[in-house]
Amino acid sequence: MKLPAPPTEKSFPSPLHHPRVATVIGRWLGLAVAICFLTGLFSHLQQDTPGWLTIPSRPASLYRVTQGLHILSGSVAVPLLLAKLWTVYPKLFAKLPWPPSRKALTTILERGSILVLVSALALELFTGFLNTLQWYPWPFPFKQTHYALAWIIVGALLVHLAVKLPLILAHWRRTPADSTPVADSLPPAITGLTRRGLLRTVAGGGALVGITSVGQSVPAFGPVAVLAPRKPNVGPQGLPVNRTAKDAGVTGIGANWRFTITGPRKLSYTLDELRNLEQNRSDLPIACVEGWSQGAHWEGIRIRDLLSLCGAPPGSRVRVVSMEKGGFYATSELPPEFADDPLTLLALRLNGAELALDHGFPARIIAPNRPGVLQTKWVHRLEVIA
């Protein structure tokens, strides 16, 4: 019995696998990946700021916008990646040039970079999505892995773009050859969907994913945010809770509770004494790295006022210490620009009422242009760092 010949690239004659289609979808995917990478890099630098870098505390809602874009571009990249893979999969059946020549080397480099690119990107989008669900079914640390993969993707993408540049340039603009039906001779089953139809379907799929996920940071889209694990306005006091007091092992405060600030002078306040200090109001969002963000009204004491009370010079760096024991978020640092910003508060009240325990009662940090992870809850000590 004679086995049928294995498929080759020529076995997939549909015009939908044409380089022009790959170029158009590749452009959209490239844009989504670029936005996702840059906003992710910003988020990383916020959380791990190198000594030479100063991040400004304004615009106050900048991080809300960048993180919203990060989640949005990452979500939209999923259907775009699938479409791109579908367009180019016949390449899997292309013959490797043999015996090896210069050309073979380019081909191997090209295939290798695509293998790295596709697997890293798929893993990146998958882990990122699970992170919005706060589900970590793997043994490696999410943040570091997500960050390292991002650089692998950028490297592989640059190789891919360099190798494909001639093809991309040749198909960047629509040519007359693109609009003439390539395959008049093909059976209708193969040409059933036109190129324009395919591109519209992909664009529609991307838009649908975008619209149904963006509601986690844009409240107007809340009602249709079926892909959003959390709605921005659902939670105690109209604000979601990422980690409850119970999860953090915080049970509230006893009668002896004191808030302390250690600087040139060491000060200690009861909760009532804190309430009697000058109170200020800030309208600021919590913008969670896990995707949701929501604006709120906060009232409390300006950190810069606390610094001057304890005799610390303006522009001091401040370490924030939570009553939570251990865990990544039990402490944070306010760089000088943030500690000095008049919007940055030791907040005691949220949306017109005392903080709920899950929102950090009795006191928490709220600062402009910062990731939610750094808006430390259940604060009982500030330490001025020289």
Footprint of Mo ion on this chain (CB under 5 A)?
A: 242, 288, 372-373
> What is the DSSP code (8-state) at residue 379?
E
Minimum Å gap between C-beta 384 and ligand MTE is 20
Nearer to ligand MTE, 26 or 290 (CB): 290
Site string for ligand MTE, 310-329 (x = CB under 6 A): ------------x-x----x
Q: Is residue 263 within 8 Å of residue 312, measured between CB atoms?
A: yes
CB of 231 to ligand MTE, least distance (A): 13
- Told to check if 242 binds ligand MTE by CB under 6 A, we report yes
* Least distance in angstroms from the C-beta of 78 to Mo ion: 22
288 binds ligand MTE (CB under 6 A): yes
The number of beta carbons lying within 10 Å of the beta carbon of residue 111 is: 15
Q: 376 touches which of ligand MTE, Mo ion, none (CB within 5 to 8 A by kind)? A: ligand MTE
Q: How many residues bind ligand MTE (CB under 6 A)?
A: 20
Q: Is 372 in the site for ligand MTE (CB under 6 A)?
A: yes
Q: Could you tell which of ligand MTE, Mo ion, none binds residue 240, using a CB distance below 5 to 8 A set by kind?
A: ligand MTE
| Count of CB atoms situated within 10 Å of the CB of 237 | 17
24 binds ligand MTE (CB under 6 A): no
We find the least distance from the C-beta atom of residue 353 to ligand MTE, in angstroms, to be: 13
Q: Which residues of 290-328 are buried (b: 16+ CB within 10 A; e: fewer)?
A: bbbbbbbebbbbbbbebbebbebeeebbbebbbbbeeee
CB distance 287 to 68 below 8 Å: yes
Neighbours of 215 (CB within 10 A): 21
In whole angstroms, the minimum distance from the beta carbon of 288 to Mo ion comes to 3
> Is 377 a residue that touches ligand MTE (CB under 6 A)?
yes
To the nearest whole angstrom, how small is the minimum distance from the Cβ of residue 248 to Mo ion?
Answer: 12
Q: Which of 330, 339, 348, 384 binds ligand MTE (CB under 6 A)?
A: 330
CA-based nearest residue to 67, from 372, 361, 310: 372
User: Phi/psi at 269 (nearest 5 deg)?
Assistant: -130, 145
Which single residue is written with the structure tokens 């309208």? 283
How far is Cα 78 from Cα 206, in angstroms, rounded to an integer? 8
Q: How far apart are CA 302 and CA 363, in angstroms?
A: 12
What value does the CA radius of gyration of the chain take, rounded to a whole number of Å? 27
Spatial separation of the C-alpha atoms in residues 203 and 209, rounded to whole Å: 10
Dmax of the chain from CA atoms?
A: 93
**Contact between 248 and ligand MTE per CB under 6 A:** yes
298: contact with ligand MTE by CB under 6 A: no
* Interface stretch with ligand MTE, choices 3-11, 57-65, 102-110, 370-378 (CB under 6 A): 370-378
Shortest Cβ contact with ligand MTE: which residue? 372
Q: Enumerate binding residues for ligand MTE (CB under 6 A).
A: 239-243, 248, 286, 288, 322, 324, 329-330, 359-360, 372-373, 375-378
